[in-house]
Structure 1
Amino acid sequence: MSVRKAAIHHQLIDEFLDQVCKPVKAKEMHPDIRQEITAHLEERIEELISEGMTEEEAVRMAIARMGSPEEVGRQFHQVHKPRTEWTLILLLALLIGIGLVAMLAMQTALEDNDRVSNAGFFEKKAVFGIIGLVAVAVIYFVDYRKLQAYSSYLYFIVVMVMLLAKLEGVTISGSGSWFVVGAVSINVPMTATYLFMITLAGMIRPREPKSSSFLIKIRTFIKELFVYLIPGWLYLLNPTLPAFMLYVSGLSALLLFAGKWRTWLAYIVGMAAAAGLMLLYGTGARIEYVTNRLLAYVDPASNPDANFMAARSLEAIRSAGLWGHGFGVKNDRLGYIYSDMIYTYLIYSLGWAMGLLIAFAFAALLIRAAGVVSKLSDPYGKRIVVGVITILSVQFGWNMLMCVGLLPITGISLPLIGYSTFSMVVDMAAIGVILSVYRRKDIFASRPTMQSE
């Protein structure tokens, strides 16, 4: 047996490696740590043997010069230990807390409304908030990197679920493709936006090298474009304009972040053409409803009735003042105060101060999440965070801006705060994915320099 093989299997080395790895909580790093230390020891052992030592003496001397195994292990642990983004967690808790306060206000404001008086806004929000926290905790400890190898399979599953929702889903609030399981309503297209971001983040490949033939580049380009267009077409077929907007925004961010601007441009052209055909030749009340909303925003005088929600929202905000009209105050002129108009109602009841608090909390959460990207070395993790942040940002930004009349009202709810059950769990789980990526930012990154005396 060669000196190198003998060293690898030497009992003393194995015992030393076991002691080094014991303080390192990132167990994923143990194989790499063992391999690195073994290679370093082998090199030193060969030098000592060449100086005249026996193998046994060389092994013992090399290990002794490494120093205390506990200290070496602590050094590795400091470099590779899991990280927690506590600020992100605190901001998430703040927004969930505001959401619970909002639901208490809803119950007070709507207590005389027979249709929604027994809805149990606060209780349901609290229950699903707990479920969301469990989801965050579970996802936090799951190694997201294992998903990348299965991205294509997960993509196919999500596409199939979207098709099933189109064929078998129920219609809620004028929008189809919902699954109802007991008391839980699942908006499949909205949920799928996050899933598509995670799967496509793992499917994006580097550009073909310049040495590749033109036919290979064209074939790869068409194949990728087709993969990106399929979900967009499914969103248009449902049709669910808010989910379609989120998907287009999220994938645009992924492609541009990956430097694939040509693919992005072709994708935007393809989606615009498909959306145009849908609006021109589509039928059904939902298409007509969305079209009227968009036209009314562009030209309010053309259809004043279609823009009445925006007008009433502005009216409520202007009358609020700094501290609002009081907790749980009624507003019979403002509809959907528990969903689309929750931001408007919170300003109306608790004032501009509450509106600013929500805006600053969301902005801080998104900025903090965006800061995670700059701290990552894993391209797959970076793309996941970019996609998730984009989905959250568009929801937050669009809802706020539509409430103040700067964007058309399209049915995009305020994440985490509005009355939602399963959707809130999904939004929280998405933040859990960001926390999972951040937790492993220093794993498989730099290693402490190995030094021997």
Structure 2
Amino acid sequence: MPEPTINLSDQLLRLATTRAVWSMIVSALLLAVAGLLSIGVVEPGLAAKQGKIWLPISLFAAGLVFFPRPRTVGTYAYPLMALTLCLLILLVMPFTPRWLVPVINGARAWINLGVMNFQPAELAKVAFVLGMAWYLRHRKSHRTLLGMLKPFLLMLVPVGLILKQPDLGTAILFAPTLFIMLVAAGARMKHIVGLLGVAILVIVANIAIVLYAPSSMQILKPHQRERIESMISLAQGETRYVTTIGYQQDTAMTLVAAGGLTGYDPQRVRDMIELNKLPFDHNDMIFAVVAARWGWLGGAALIGLYLTLTASMALIAADLKDPFARLATVGFAGMMFTQAAINIGMTVGLLPITGITLPFVSYGGSSLLFSAVMIGLVCNFVSRRPAPLSRPSFEFDQNAEAIFQ
């Protein structure tokens, strides 16, 4: 059934009268401003580039995705996933020329477009959520344990290619996002809890293997094992890794603690970071800069903005009637929440260092661009009325108890 005709003024009116949209947009803009100010403390030139080039481009892209109908977005989800997989394959092919796919920090994760280094893994996050939302929108197969396995098998394709780059930080975002989408789609909680239990057991087993098993039985790569050992060592107050693999995390934790309650002036923070030589201070470790500049109150405010952003998206999803739009919005919220939680967790020593940006705040054209695209798509979904005589949002919503059976 075709979607109802709606003009731009009607779209904007529906957008303006939805309170959760405003809290989502304002939170995203404040995070972007916080990013510009934080990057400006350590890299003024990059902050100017982020503000004058990448932010306007990202806002323009968010505006572009506001216009296609949700059904049109959904029909292009699979082709977009196919394109993304082609780009991810291009990155890891051994004969791809270095001028096209440069090696940066030991990873083949970017395509040189001349004007920018484009990161396909950022596109993959958007394409994956849209593809899974389109796949799950009316299905009931994921209501069985075997049916739940198919989405996870599909997920392994982009995740495997991203791990090959290697980019562990981005790769680990996909599974939590899919879990969240499956819950929203009505997967049985006993299956979700069972799979989560298995995942936790795998994580615990890997940590135990890292700590106690001989080298011949190790599963993770040496540098990955060292990251875990370093995190545990720092948590126990030991210093044996602070000059080697644990230097980045130890320095970030020191700067977070040094910020105190309200932080210090920009010049002092800049001197502190230069003295401690914090690696990746403008992208992966930007939360340490925030905490040093504005203190624990500033860090708490930033966390509050992420909670507001993702909670607003969850509220928006709850009101959406179109199943594709609802699932995509939930997926975007889950992706952003997971990414922010992992980045902040690794900065304060709760998680091992994986290399992952902080959405809207870290420097990076691709990261900012596709974070803005997610917001633009959610605004698109809110501004549309559901198609008349369309299929129910989720057939099993009529019996909530069935979800927990």
Partners of 1:30 and 1:392 in 2: how far apart?
A: 32
Do the aligned partners of residues 267 and 153 (structure 1) sit closer, same or farther apart at CA in structure 2, a change above 3 Å counting?
A: farther
Local SS of the residue matching 1:170:
coil
- Aligned equivalent of 1:172: 104
Do the aligned partners of residues 259 and 432 (structure 1) sit closer, same or farther apart at CA in structure 2, a change above 3 Å counting?
A: same
Q: 2:68 aligns with which of 142, 149, 154?
A: 142
- Aligned equivalent of 1:290: 224
Partners of 2:85 and 2:103 in 1: how far apart?
A: 19
CA contact (8 A) 1:158 1:196 kept: no
Matched, 1:422 2:349: no
CA contact (8 A) 2:41 2:266 kept: yes
Unaligned runs of 5+ residues in structure 2 are 390-405
- Aligned equivalent of 2:401: none
Deviates more, 1:394-403 or 1:231-240: 231-240
One-letter code of the match for 1:175?
A
Partners of 1:337 and 1:195 in 2: how far apart?
A: 29
Do the aligned partners of residues 428 and 209 (structure 1) sit closer, same or farther apart at CA in structure 2, a change above 3 Å counting?
A: closer
Matched, 1:409 2:345: no
Do the aligned partners of residues 444 and 299 (structure 1) sit closer, same or farther apart at CA in structure 2, a change above 3 Å counting?
A: same
CA contact (8 A) 1:103 1:125 kept: no
Deviation at 1:427, TM superposition (A): 0.9
CA contact (8 A) 1:293 1:409 kept: yes
- Aligned equivalent of 1:239: 166
- Aligned equivalent of 2:40: 104
Deviations 1:49-107 (A, max 9, x none): xxxxxxxxxxxxxxxxxxxxxxxxxxxx9999633422222222212221221232223
Name the structure, 1 or 2, with higher relative contact order (CA <8 Å, separation 6+): 2
- Aligned equivalent of 2:313: 369
Q: 2:113 aligns with which of 176, 181, 185?
A: 181
Deviates more, 1:298-307 or 1:250-259: 298-307
Unaligned runs of 5+ residues in structure 1 are 1-26, 32-76, 109-118, 447-453
Matched, 1:207 2:140: yes
- Aligned equivalent of 1:395: 339
- Aligned equivalent of 1:196: 128
- Aligned equivalent of 1:92: 28
Partners of 2:125 and 2:332 in 1: how far apart?
A: 9
Matched, 1:155 2:81: yes
Partners of 1:394 and 1:404 in 2: how far apart?
A: 15
Matched, 1:317 2:243: no
Do the aligned partners of residues 355 and 227 (structure 1) sit closer, same or farther apart at CA in structure 2, a change above 3 Å counting?
A: closer
Partners of 2:10 and 2:49 in 1: how far apart?
A: 42
- Aligned equivalent of 2:155: 228
CA contact (8 A) 1:337 1:345 kept: yes
Deviations 1:335-388 (A, max 9, x none): 321112211112212322322221222211111111111111111111101111
Q: 1:254 aligns with which of 150, 162, 181?
A: 181
Q: TM-score, normalised by structure 2?
A: 0.76
Partners of 1:78 and 1:153 in 2: how far apart?
A: 30
- Aligned equivalent of 2:395: none
Q: CA RMSD in A?
A: 3.6
Partners of 1:424 and 1:160 in 2: how far apart?
A: 22
Q: 1:337 aligns with which of 268, 281, 300?
A: 281
Deviations 1:260-284 (A, max 9, x none): 35599679979969x98xx999x9x
One-letter code of the match for 2:354?
T
Identity %: 21
Partners of 1:123 and 1:158 in 2: how far apart?
A: 26
Partners of 2:55 and 2:183 in 1: how far apart?
A: 34
Deviations 1:376-429 (A, max 9, x none): 111111110111111111111111122221121211121111111221111111
CA contact (8 A) 1:229 1:270 kept: no
CA contact (8 A) 2:321 2:386 kept: no
Partners of 1:80 and 1:351 in 2: how far apart?
A: 38
CA contact (8 A) 1:197 1:384 kept: yes
CA contact (8 A) 1:80 1:444 kept: no
